[in-house]
Structure 1
Amino acid sequence: MSILRRLVAALLLVPIVALAAQAQEYRVQPGDVLQIEVLEDATLNRSAIVLPDGQITLPVAGTFRVAGRSIAQVQDDLARRLAPGFAAAPTVFVSLSALAPRQEPTPPRTIAIFILGAANTPGKVEVAPGSTLLQAIAQAGGLTPFAAKKRIQLRRVDKAGNEQIYKLDLDAIERGVAGGGSTRLVKGDVIVVPQRKLFE
């Protein structure tokens, strides 16, 4: 029976040890809320929000930086700062009561694509995310009369650095007999518009 109890106790300690390890590894960030407790003086107990500059302000301890430190480091520093006001070293506990709100990255307002060749305004074009091939060409002022509309190329580099080339027939797309005009562009896409050959 004693062996079973020891086994259960050991299993219960596993998540506690894991949480303690995580707390030691965590680094305080601006916006976090710290809970401060001083056993010898309850008037010092309070919650403190980490300011944008990474500091907190507490009675007696003053203003000091906590961002980038572990909870244990903050606790030791606070105890050291409070020590002159006590006959013996104070017992200080610091815990993390709330994490700073994590802001989701905002999507870019525009993405840069490039149009080369027989376009009215070739070069870099800023388009809204999700814009299509036809919309980008229209934004570039359309194509010149010398554009080889049946031989449009969309060049795209994937995450591995490999270039993919898609051949599109803009004439057929405009007539509605071929797809590709609604292809969504991504940042860095290059649209190549060749010039027509002599009898093309």
Structure 2
Amino acid sequence: MLYLKRILSGIVLILAATAALAQQEYRVRPGDTLAIEVLEDATLNRTAIVLPDGRFSFPFAGTIPAAGRTVGEIQSAVTQAIASNFAVSPNVFVSVQPGAVSPYAGPATEGIDVFFLGEVNTPGLVQVASGTTFLQALAQSGGLTRFAATKRIQLRRTDPQTNVQKVYQIDYKSLSRGAVLAKDIRLLDGDVILVPERRLFE
């Protein structure tokens, strides 16, 4: 029995080491979720989604390139970017969860990638069919949380030719009532939908 326990313990250690090695070698891609912890300041701990341009945002650091980098490289980049805000170099820990299709999404056919951020029930990458509108994609992402600012939703679209980003304001409350369904925007590949948290009396 003791021998069997030792074998099982050995297998667990091997699996843990293999998983850690895979994390170290994995190259981050748009749609992945990064879990970032700063030992010296827990208020900075958060998750961040890698956007279609390959970057993510972090306090005190602005936007940091992530696509194509390993976890270790991103960890070093975050540490360097925020170091000036600490008396000594902070201890930063980064892990990655590869992007996955939302469980609400349909079958993976020819389609486009859309990114939902903020107050939605399933933030992250959602794959939808070409021609899908904002309301349809929102339903596939699980809908809004009760904290969503429904009148201040943004659709951010980057022109792949010029790299210029346009921001469209979406009034979900009006759309959901059917008053202006003609304004239900058809989404394009790489669109980012940002749903902010509502203010106190909003």
Normalization by structure 1: what TM-score? 0.47
Say which one has the larger Rg: 1
